[in-house]
Amino acid sequence: MTDSISTLETLLGDRHSCRAYKTEQVPRAIIDRILNAAQKTASWCNSQPWQVTITSGEATKKFRDVLYPVAAAGTPNSGDFPFPREYRGVYLDRRRESGFQLYNTLGIARGDKTAYAEQALQNFNFFGAPHVAIITSDEALGVYGAVDCGGYVNNFMLAAQALGLATVPQAALAFHAAVVRKHFGMSDDRRVVCGISFGYPDREHKVNSYRTSRAGLGDVATFVE
């Protein structure tokens, strides 16, 4: 029991969003192991709404070659799920803090909007990851289908972490949902929740050197006795 929680705490503590990768491909058996673990995710009525499309090798490059120009051209976001209406209060503070951590680590000056935009575009290079997983849900399941997919994304990331891989979940890859659907021949009723770029981490790259903070329990938990 104690060992299980220690293992989980280690995985949760070590996982972070990785934004620089080695080019080495992940063997199919390892990817299958991640997917088999993530299949254990709970979902409402056990509907298991997630479908996952995974690119490797040339397929990752081809996807990049389709998506990157769309983003680089400044095409307005048209994701299947509404973009957050507003980051306010502590949510804005946390968003800013994590953004500045990224920019400071990369030596990007505060207010350098051109550099911010260039860095944001790296999403569409998948931060150099050799693989991308696109997670979709069924249109009819609405918000709860997306909630179930969120659980799947986390379990995918923890399984990958346990296997020595690194990941970054990316809502950015859902910004141009119609392009994603068309490229992969997905049916119209699939809703693009997000992507996960993954592979072996480049631990030497400075972008992977910082860790984000978390609020304390006093900020999130209410105990009623």
Q: Tokens at residue 213, please? A: 């903070």
Identify which of residues 28 and 83 has a Cβ nearer to ligand FMN in the complex: 83
Select the residue whose beta carbon is closest to ligand FMN and give its number.
172
* Closer Cβ to ligand FMN, 26 or 157, answer by number: 157
3-state secondary structure 70-122: HHHCCCCCCCCCCCCCCCCHHHHHHHHHHHHHHHHHHCCCCCCHHHHHHHHHH
64 binds ligand FMN (CB under 6 A): no
If the CB atoms of residues 28 and 203 are measured against ligand FMN, the closer one turns out to be: 203
Copy the structure tokens of residue 142. 């609405």
Q: Binding residue for ligand FMN (CB under 6 A) from 123, 136, 161, 208? A: 123
Q: Are 119 and 206 in contact (CB under 8 A)?
A: no
Of 149, 159, 148, the C-alpha closest to 198 is: 159
Residues 141-170 that bind ligand FMN (CB under 6 A): 168-170
The residue within the footprint of ligand FMN, chosen from 32, 182, 212, 215 (CB under 6 A), is: 212
User: Smaller CB distance to ligand FMN: residue 32 or 118?
Assistant: 118
Q: Which two tokens stand for residue 157?
A: 């990331």
Q: Which residues bind ligand FMN (CB under 6 A)?
A: 16-17, 98, 123, 168-172, 194, 212
